[in-house]
Amino acid sequence: PMTYTEPEQVPLSEQEFEEQEAVARAPDDDSRWSHSPSQLTGDGPEQLARCEERLRRVIGRERPQAIMSAIFQNGCTALKKGGVGSSVKCRICPSEGIFTHVSAYYRGDKQAVYICAEKEPSEAQIERILTHELIHAYDHCRFSMRVPFVGRQAPWALTCAAEACSEVRAYMLGDHWASSPSSSGLSFDGALNHGGGFAADDHLPVGSRAGQRASAATPAEAASTLREEIYRGALASTSVYGLCAKANAKPVVDSVYNACVQDFAPFTASGQRSPFVGFPPMPPEVAAAAKAFPTP
> Half-sphere exposure (CA, 13 Å, Cβ side) for 8?
1
Sequence-ordered list of residues with C-beta below 8 angstroms from that of 181, at least 6 positions apart, any chain? 199
49: pLDDT strictly greater than 90: yes
pTM of the model: 0.79
Q: Are 199 and 180 in contact (CB under 8 A)?
A: yes
How many whole angstroms separate alpha carbon 34 and alpha carbon 13?
A: 30
Residue 170 CB burial class (10 angstroms; 0-12, 13-18, ≥19): buried
What DSSP designation does 178 have? E
From 92, 139, 140, select the one nearest 119 (Cα to Cα). Answer: 92
From 133, 126, 105, select the one nearest 57 (Cα to Cα). Answer: 126
Helices (H), 74-200: 123-141, 160-175
pLDDT tens for 214-261 read 556 688 888 888 899 999 999 999 998 888 998 899 999 999 999 999
Residue 277 CB burial class (10 angstroms; 0-12, 13-18, ≥19): exposed
11: pLDDT strictly greater than 70: no
pLDDT tens for 180-208 read 444 444 445 444 543 222 222 333 333 33
CA 197 to each of CA 19, 46, 131, 183, 228: distance values in angstroms, whole numbers, following the listed order: 44, 41, 19, 9, 19
Note the pLDDT of residue 165: 98
More confident call, 222 vs 165 = 165
